[in-house]
Structure 1
Amino acid sequence: MSEGISARGLRLLDMASIKKLTELGSTDYLRWQNIKRGKARLGADEVEILGKAFPSYRWWLMTGEVNPELKQSSPDSDEPAG
């Protein structure tokens, strides 16, 4: 079974700076911390912010697939994100 959008979002959150994510959108630092610690669920606004933080992973974040033709990769893909 493949991981869902929430699991993919949490993977990106582990790779990100919470401070940078806070600057990219309206989600505050405390909420990001709570999501990372499993005390809150990742919402649509946070998924959108993660897409801004990781533009080459947007397609993967939403679908779980890579699309090299569009320079869309994943954290563990062998395809370069461009």
Structure 2
Amino acid sequence: MTHRSAWVDAAKVLPVIEGTVFRLEVEHLPSGATPKPVWLWWSGVDATPADVDRLWQTFLRRFDIEHTFRLFKQTLGWTCPKIRTP
């Protein structure tokens, strides 16, 4: 951790949080752009290959859902407030 803002009042030694870090890479993107790795952190330890498969697929579904809601908000105009008198 490079910042202590959430831990300002804590002891000088920051806590160690165990987990597993995954680095996901794709060979190519449909757009032809250069793919960048995606880093995911999971609070579990001793991940199996089945865990890795489940986690990247879960991330992909979450990414799709978040972008769907973002699109809906833009379409419905939820991102730009309209001030009205009562």
Q: Which of the two has greater helix per residue?
A: 1
Shorter-chain TM-score: which interval? under 0.3
> TM-score normalized by structure 1?
0.24
Q: Which has the larger radius of gyration?
A: 2
Higher relative contact order, chain-length normalized (CA < 8 Å, sep 6+): 1
